[in-house]
Amino acid sequence: MNYSKKVLTCASALVISLGIFAGYSTTTFAASTSQNTSTKKTDSSAKSDIDSSSKKDLATKDDSEAGNVTDKKKEPAQTTTSYDIMTKVAGAKNYKVWKSVSNGKVHTKVADGQNFRYSHIQSNQSIKTKKYTYWLIYVDGRRVGWVNQNYFARNTIETPKTVSLVRNDNYTFDPKDAISYATDSTGTVVDNQEVNVSKSTINCGTPKTYKVKYTYGSGSSTVAITVRKSTKEGYGDADSVSAKKGTNDFQSWDSHYGASINYISPKEFQPETAKHTFSSGDLSLTTRLYQPVLLSIKTGSDDGNINRVGHIPEGVTVSNNWAYTSLLSHTNLMNGHIVGYDLSKLKSPYNPQHLNEMSQDKFNKYVQNIKVSPYIPIGHGQALGSTDKYIYALVNDHTMHQTTDSEELVQIRKSDMCINKIWTVKTWNKGNAEDSRYYQNAVVVDDHTMYGLYHDTEKHRYEYWKLSRTGDNWYSQLVGVTDGDFVNNGAPVQGFTYDSQNNNFYISFNDLIFKVAYDGTLKQSYQFKSGREVEGISISDNKLYVNLAQRAELLVGDLK
């Protein structure tokens, strides 16, 4: 991402007029954080110059008033520079975070940088002293303090080692989708479009392995991108399973009409103070966790998609007591962030709303239980799954229904929230590319199995496809079909998951959840009256998790 720095340098008027400090401070004002960072450029190593008006003023002063400034200018103890807001990446080494920097020295430790290794870190100001450069950091939207520039992962391009693509004459892969992040010499994340890539696109029609090199500044990385050989992979038979009786009797809605009590808009909200409970039949869902609306600095302008974490929740997956939610800053994006919450440590449903108000010591410990991914491909964010080590996101475009394109399946490490591997997959009915199944909703249940939900709008039925991985190949098999559209007003599916313990699928619309047997038999329906959009569902340890929007609120209920 390009950042701007408009230079306007002047020594403190007090320092110039009185000359009382042996080491004085210089301030450089860069572009304000209200400007659009995506269209600006920052050279963070640029030296500050005294502007022409300051030079003119100094030239009019005699030696007795200005001291010896014009003859022998002393080097300032520190120079402060302000920038448009930017995102930075923590490195592997620990550095202390300081409350302030003055007269070229740091004062009062407030945190260890290692506490924020997997947090969302931003900055808009630096101080250059005679020995070091320090950056003011904001962590998950909270101002924390100043840290040495060496704390950041500088000149780094984070990519997986391999990408594996299904053979498909109709599809080309963008190698830049494999970038988790790229940083400059100061540890600032740059836009992927600024990274030089040795091959701009990969044609998936010809089996081959490409060694693709990524470079930015002195940073580099290499990825082996392979187009797989199989000509039969992804072929399935949509007529192999008989449809089970379903329904068209229900109605949902497209646009929400409700919100949590203290939420008005993404710019106007207060913390929630009470739990919600929504019940229907044998299912009762209760608030488990209110999530922050934003995990980034709240500004009054478009601060760039890399910088903004939130405010639109899209999906959820839960495993091993961690809940992972997908967040977009705009609904038309294919990239976003995934945020993980350790439910075993975050006992209170309310505390995540108070990151800016809790004590610094508590914050330092608390945010170690929250992980934020880089800005990576997640699609619309409602096709998620998670296993012991990985999170999976099927990168789908929610505006597409039937297409000859392949779909990217991104495997993300839970450890550092970066991309570990990418596959592309396809499902073509009897090998016919024009009769494809494009999954807008899917769930990965283990490292070799994914289930995809497909709505056949012509035949008015829902299909349940199992995609099984052998090596790097993904094979498609239809396992169930439900006759009918569930709802009769065209409302969209908002969540899909699979209960491996009881072999049931769960499909969610807004204020509606359906339980469906493995073969497509409709077993049960649940209706609620929240007026809020469902943004993903997940099952873990015989519990159903439902994420709501307006504001992001994770609900949980026991399965019966």
DSSP 135-187: EEEEETTEEEEEEEGGGB--S-EE--SEEEE---TT-EE-GGGG-SEEB-TTS
Specify the CATH class of 235-558 in words.
mainly beta
Dump pLDDT digits (tens) for 506-516. 999 999 999 99
Residue 39 confidence (pLDDT): 29
- For the purposes of burial, counting CB atoms within 10 Å of the CB of 109, is it exposed (0-12), middle (13-18) or buried (19 or more)? exposed
Which contacts (CB < 8 Å, 24+ apart) does range 7-15 have?
7/46, 7/48, 7/49, 7/51, 8/51, 9/48, 9/49, 9/50, 9/51, 9/54, 10/50, 10/51, 10/54, 11/50, 11/54, 11/76
Has residue 443 got a pLDDT over 80? yes
Question: Comparing C-alpha atoms, which of 193, 148, 443 is closest to residue 316?
Answer: 443
- Compute the mean pLDDT over every residue in the chain, rounded to the nearest whole number: 89
Q: Where is pLDDT greater, at 303 or 280?
A: 280
pLDDT at 71: 46
Tokens at 146, concatenated = 């100043």
pLDDT classification of 74: cutoffs 50, 70, 90? confident
pLDDT(68) > 50:
no
Instruction: Please choose, from the candidates 409, 413, 425, the residue with its C-alpha nearest in 3D space to the C-alpha of residue 177.
Output: 409
For the stretch 10-38, pLDDT in tens is: 333 333 333 333 334 555 444 333 334 33
Q: Identify which has the larger pLDDT, 33 or 246.
A: 246
Q: Can the peptide bond before residue 311 be classed as cis, meaning omega within 30 degrees of 0?
A: yes
**pLDDT tens, position by position, 445-487:** 999 999 999 999 999 999 999 999 999 999 999 999 999 999 9
CB distance 422 to 410 below 8 Å: yes
> What does the pLDDT look like over 333-354, one tens digit per residue?
999 999 999 999 999 999 999 9
Lookup result for tokens 């995990």 = 295
pTM (two decimals): 0.89
* 146, β-bridge pairs: 98, 136
pLDDT value at residue 266: 86
